[in-house]
Amino acid sequence: MSAPDDARALRALRQPVMGMIRAGTGLGGLGALTGLIPFIGIVELGRALLRPGPADPGELVAIAAVVVAGLVVGWSCTGGGLWLTHIADHRLQAILRRALVRKLGRVPLGWYSDRTSGAVRKAVQSDLDDLHHLVAHHYVELAGAILLPAGGLAYLMWLDWRLALLAVATLPIYGAAYAWMMRGFADKMTQLDASFSRVSAAIIEFVHGIAVVKAFGQTGRAHQGYRRAVRDFGERYAGWVRPLLQLEAISSMALSTPVILLVSLSGGAAMIARGWIGPVDLLAEVLVAVALPQTILTLNQSLTAERKAVAAADRIAGLLDTPELPSNPSPRRPEGGEVRFDSVSFRYDDGRDALSGVTLCCRPGTVTALVGPSGAGKSTLAKLVPRFYDVTGGAVLVGGIDVREIAPDRLYRHVGFVLQDVQLVHGTVADNLRLGRPSASDAEMVAATRAARIHDRILALPRGYQSVVGEDAIFSGGEAQRVSIARTLLADTPVLILDEATAHADPESEAEIQDALSVVARGRTVLVIAHRLATITGADRIIVLESGRIVEQGRHAELLAAGGPYARMWRSGANDDAIAMEAL
């Protein structure tokens, strides 16, 4: 997206609170201008005290009163401006967070599979923080950074135009160096943001998989993704910053107080010697000149924050523009648990065909297993049932109704799924169990956990069912899987999708999970994605997929007797198991 488009996204996002931002900015600007009064008051006090003869006490008191009044008005205006912009920020944050939550609740579930949690977290957390500084601080600070030096220079111009030139004598050096350093800043920030997103994603992915990593002794290999992400970020940042450090150190000297005082006093002494200005005029110039660097640094920081906010607004706007899962204005209710695939085809956004002409019927009370080589379309086919994606051809029917005609919340109460990678939310164990059915009673919850063989483990936690996941409830991979199964049991959905629920479990946990799944499957329509054939030998029907098509189907014994693709996969799997046993 181009820079104008980025700026357009920022303008659109902040539009609901622009009135308050403008009012706060106006007050901030007025406060900055009023802040000049103390400077002018000091100069006028100097004039009054340096006049021949005794000073007029009334004049001195009047000047002091004006200075105090200026300080009070300036602080009040600046404080009032920041108060307004902070209220605007709170309102905007609330608006955007609600919009993001609505959007994240309406996008297809497959959208999450295509994106890392780190990238989503950056958009809904870090990017909103970048907007906070822009709305709450940037505009007030920017108004002050512009109007304070502008008013000071106007005052010097009124005294003597040469004083204004003397006050900014060192700025061209800093300006030229800064312009050189900021070449390509927007592109560099975009690259750094992308690199940092990869770092965040690598951290989150490693933490989520830590149990599996330790179980299989792959700690060093698991760290590689994080190391690569950090190294890439470090190299990009150092490659950009290193050449600029020396230049920035030299240019910053132009804004240092000693240098400014040296230039001001030297130049001012020469002007006084020529009779162009008086000593008090030089005092005014020095007061304005030493105040300029801070306003310039503030301006620099504000512009940097604005560039970051522009990039953040682009990402937030992109997320808010994500197409939502289409919903039927007149949704229908499914009846029963039959699942039917009617000439189903599916193509990914990049043009890859995943499924082609798949026709299949799964009846209540039966277990249907999907097997095949990696990339055959097993997971894609199963994920079409809960509408992780929508078909590009044909139809998927649940309870006799096309899933596209069922309201998403109704569909998720009808179709449950237990995936390989269990996701438990940060909350109590009870909250996690009741996600699919918040109204479930304690007795029903306990019955579900007993059936899933996890009740005793939960009771052993410090606070039992009220223990918080990630704090005083730490589950192994197999235990977390059984919590997920209990959650599915409690939801009591007629249709159940299982994606190799025992893939990450140790032998003891695998036996417990298989026992739990046997309870889950009773009376339901079960669709199993199988990677290990030994786990589905008892399935009512086994569907063999290759390149997105059904090439074989039947029961385990029938398929072995046929000697086709399934039999070859079975023999290959048996050989792999034998090799693994020999290695042990």
Task: For 435-446, write each residue's pLDDT tens digit.
Answer: 878 888 999 999
Establish if 549 belongs to a structural domain: yes
Residues 346 and 383 grouped into a single domain? yes
Residues 403 and 550 grouped into a single domain? yes
Who has greater pLDDT, 174 or 440?
Answer: 440
Residues 441 and 506 grouped into a single domain? yes
Please give the radius of gyration of the chain, using alpha carbons only, rounded to the nearest integer.
34
pLDDT at 555 over 70: yes
In angstroms, rounded to a whole number, what is the distance separating the alpha carbons of residues 394 and 405?
Answer: 14
pLDDT at 4 over 80: no
Q: Are 454 and 483 in contact (CB under 8 A)?
A: yes
Establish if 360 belongs to a structural domain: yes
Task: For 456-500, write each residue's pLDDT tens digit.
Answer: 999 999 999 999 988 888 888 778 888 888 888 888 889 988 876
Who has greater pLDDT, 63 or 522?
Answer: 63
What value does the mean pLDDT take over residues 502-507? 55
Establish if 220 belongs to a structural domain: no
Q: Which amino acid is at 381?
A: L
What value does the mean pLDDT take over residues 182-197? 62
Least confident of 210-214, 257-261, 304-308, 447-451: 210-214
Residues 6+ apart with CB under 8 A from 7: 310
Residues 411 and 496 grouped into a single domain? yes
Residues 352 and 312 grouped into a single domain? no
Residues 491 and 569 grouped into a single domain? yes
Residues 316 and 351 grouped into a single domain? no
Task: For 234-282, write each residue's pLDDT tens digit.
Answer: 666 666 666 556 556 666 666 677 777 888 888 888 888 888 888 888 8
In angstroms, rounded to a whole number, what is the distance separating the alpha carbons of residues 163 and 166?
Answer: 5
What value does the mean pLDDT take over residues 9-23? 87
H/E stretch holding 327 reads none
pLDDT at 208 over 70: no
Residues 265 and 354 grouped into a single domain? no
Residues 39 and 139 grouped into a single domain? yes
Among residues 396, 406, 391, the alpha carbon closest in space to that of 329 is found at 406
- What is the distance of C-alpha 473 from the center of its chain? 26
- The pLDDT mean for the chain works out to 79
Q: Are 312 and 100 in contact (CB under 8 A)?
A: no
Establish if 325 belongs to a structural domain: no
Q: What per-residue confidence (pLDDT) applies to 362?
A: 92
Least confident of 180-189, 348-357, 553-562: 180-189
Establish if 359 belongs to a structural domain: yes
Residue with tokens 């086994």, as numbered in its chain:
542
Task: For 56-73, write each residue's pLDDT tens digit.
Answer: 788 788 888 888 888 898
Residue ranges making up the domain that contains 377: 339-583
Who has greater pLDDT, 107 or 330?
Answer: 330
H/E stretch holding 460 reads none
Residues 440 and 399 grouped into a single domain? yes
pLDDT class of 581 with cuts at 50, 70, 90: very low
Q: How many domains does the chain have?
A: 2
367, β-bridge pairs: 526
Task: For 345-403, write each residue's pLDDT tens digit.
Answer: 998 877 788 899 999 999 998 889 999 888 888 888 988 998 888 899 999 999 999 99
